Structure 1
Amino acid sequence: MGTAIYPGLADKRVVITGGGSGIGAGLVEAFVEQQAEVHFLDICEDESRALVERLAGHATFHLCDLTDLHALVETFRHIGAVDVLINNAANDDRHTLGDITPDYWDERVAVNLRHVMFSMQAVAPGMKTRGGGAIVNLGSISWHLGQEHLAIYETAKAGIEGMTRAMARELGEDGIRVNCVIPGNVKTPRQSRWYSPEDEQKIIEEQKLKVRIHPHHVASMVTFLASDAAAACTAHNYWVDAGWL
C-alpha cells in the first residue's frame, strides 16, 4: 500500500514522545519517510538506539523520562523550536480498583497524562514564533469501550480528549492546530503478549473492516494531521479503529 507524501513536512522539526517502540516507532518511521527532521523521546534505550540504527541515523533519540518535568523541559530546550509535536507516550499497565494507592495513581497519571500538557506548554512559544504548528495527541479506544483493568489509563486518555479541545481553543489564534487520534486495537509486540490467536480473531470480528490495525495505519492519520493538507483541522478526534465503534 502506498504512503501519501506531504512535501510541506520535509525538513520540519518533529518531536515524538515514546517513539522507541510500538506505535511510536511507526510514527518515527513515517516522519522519516516524509523527510522531516525527526526527534523522539523515550526511556527504553536499547530499543530506541536499535530504531535509530535501522533508520540509518535519520532520527535523533533523546533519553528522557517524561515523568521528570525538569528533564522534559530541558530536552525540549535542547531540541529547540519545533513545528510538529506528537504526544504518543503512554503505558496501559493493568490494575483493579483495589490495587490503586495514592502513589500509584500519581505515577500512572504522570506516565499517561501530565507530560502531555507540559510538552504542549514547552513547544507552544516556539511554534508561535515559527508562525504556527501542529500538535497531535494520542487517545485510546479503551475508555470508549469501558475495557476492564484500565481505570487510570482510561481516565488519562479521556482527559487527553478534553485537553485537546481546550488547547485547540487556547492556541488557535497562534496558528497552532491541536487534534487527537484515537487508535483501535493496534498490533504491536507489547499488545501481542496478551492475545491468543482466538483473541486476534475476535478483535477482527468486532471491527467493521476485517483487517488487523498496525502502527502504519495510525501513522498515516497522524502525518495527515501534521501536514498542510489538514490546515483547517483542529479540536477534533480522528479514529483509526477499523470501525470497532
Structure 2
Amino acid sequence: MMVLTGRTALVHGGGGAVGGAVARAFAAAGARVHLAGRSRARLEAVADEIGDAAVVADVDALDGRAVADHADAVAAAEGGIDIALNAVSFPFVHDRAFAEVSVEEVLHPIERHLRTNLVTAKAVAPHMAARGAGTILTLSAAASRIGTPGSLGYGTACAAIETLTQRLAVELGPSGVRVACLRSHLIADGPAHGSPTGELFARRAAAAGVDVAQLPADVTLLGRLPTLAQVGAAAVFVASDGAAAITGAVLDLTCGSAVRTATGSVVGVLD
C-alpha cells in the first residue's frame, strides 16, 4: 500500500542494513527518501535499488552543523520533512564481563548514540513543527530489556535511546510531532546485508551449544528472529496515518525475547 505517497523521509545511516531496509520500505510505500551517512558507496547502493525516489548526501550524524544544514536543504528542496529515522550505529564492546571492560568502553556507545539521536532530532523537529506534523523514529535493541551479560554499554545505550524517545515525545507533542522507537532483536538477515552481527551470532550460538540456525529457538518466544523486511514494515506503519495516535512508544519487534524481564515478570509489547 502506498501509505506514504507525497511524503519526504530523511534516513541517517541509510547505507546500513537496517537504515537501508527502512529506506527501501519507505520508498515502496510512496515516500521520497533522502539517504544520509558517511559511506557514499553504501548509500549509493541503496539508492540504486530504490531508484529515482532516493537522494544521497554525505553527512556525519555527529556533526550538529552539518546535520542541520542538510535538513534545511532537504526541507527547502521538498517543501518540508515528514519522517526522520536515525539508524546510525557505532562499534561497541560486547560479550565481555564487567571486570574486563573499561569505563571508556562502556560510555562510548552511550554517548555516541545519545548524541547522534539528539543532533538529528534537533535538526528536523523545527521543520516538522512548522507544519504541525511529522514523525521521528529511533532504533534500539532487546539489550535494553533482557538480562544478557556482556552488553553493559550497548544495553545502557539502548535503554537511554528509549527514554530519550519518550522525553522527545513529551517535548514535541504540543507541536504535532510524534516520536517512536523500534526495538528489535538480532536481525536474522542482517549479516547478509552488511550488519556486523554475524560474529556475534556465532559466539552466542557457541555459548548455547547450538548451531546458529537453532539460536532463535532459545532466545525468542516465536522461535525465530525478526527480519529486515519486518522492521521496515513496522517503520512504514508508525510513519503512516494509521499510527496517528502513537507517540512516546517503544514498539517491540524482538519476536518475544523482551516480553519478560530478567525476573520473569510480563511487560507490555507496546510500552
Q: Structure 1: which 5+ runs fail to align?
A: none
User: Cα RMSD over matched residues?
Assistant: 2.0
Q: Does 2:22 align with 1:27?
A: yes
Q: Does 2:73 align with 1:60?
A: no
Which position in structure 1 is the counterpart of 2:115? 114
Corresponding residue SS for 2:30: coil
Q: After the TM superposition, which residues 47-196 of structure 1 pair with which residues of structure 2 at under 5 Å, given as runs?
A: 47-80=42-75, 81-95=80-94, 96=96, 97=98, 98-100=100-102, 102=104, 107-187=108-188, 188-189=190-191, 190=195, 191-196=197-202
Q: Name which of 3, 8, 17 aligns with 2:12.
A: 17
Which position in structure 2 is the counterpart of 1:218? 231
Instruction: Map Cα deviations across residues 84-103 of structure 1 (whole Å, 9 max, x no partner).
Output: 1112212252255544354x
Alpha-carbon contact 1:179-1:236 (below 8 Å) kept:
yes
Q: Name which of 211, 230, 238 aligns with 2:251.
A: 238
* Identity value in percent: 25
Alpha-carbon contact 2:106-2:152 (below 8 Å) kept:
no
Q: 1:48 to 1:162 in 2, by over 3 A?
A: same
Q: Measure the CA separation in 2 of the matches of 1:76 and 1:149.
A: 36
Q: Measure the CA separation in 2 of the matches of 1:207 and 1:92.
A: 24
Corresponding residue SS for 2:141: coil
Q: Measure the CA separation in 1 of the matches of 2:142 and 2:56.
A: 28
Q: Measure the CA separation in 2 of the matches of 1:208 and 1:137.
A: 24
TM-score, normalised via structure 1 length:
0.89
Which position in structure 2 is the counterpart of 1:37? 32
Q: Measure the CA separation in 1 of the matches of 2:110 and 2:220.
A: 30
Q: Measure the CA separation in 1 of the matches of 2:219 and 2:109.
A: 29
Q: Measure the CA separation in 2 of the matches of 1:6 and 1:110.
A: 37
Q: Measure the CA separation in 2 of the matches of 1:207 and 1:77.
A: 42
Structure 1 counterpart of 2:170, one-letter code:
R
Structure 2 counterpart of 1:235, one-letter code:
G
Q: Measure the CA separation in 2 of the matches of 1:206 and 1:193.
A: 17
Q: 1:65 to 1:147 in 2, by over 3 A?
A: farther
Q: Measure the CA separation in 2 of the matches of 1:6 and 1:210.
A: 31
Q: Measure the CA separation in 2 of the matches of 1:202 and 1:168.
A: 35
TM-score, normalised via structure 2 length:
0.81
Q: 1:99 to 1:205 in 2, by over 3 A?
A: closer
Q: Structure 2: which 5+ runs fail to align?
A: 206-210, 259-271
Report deviation, 1:68.
2.0
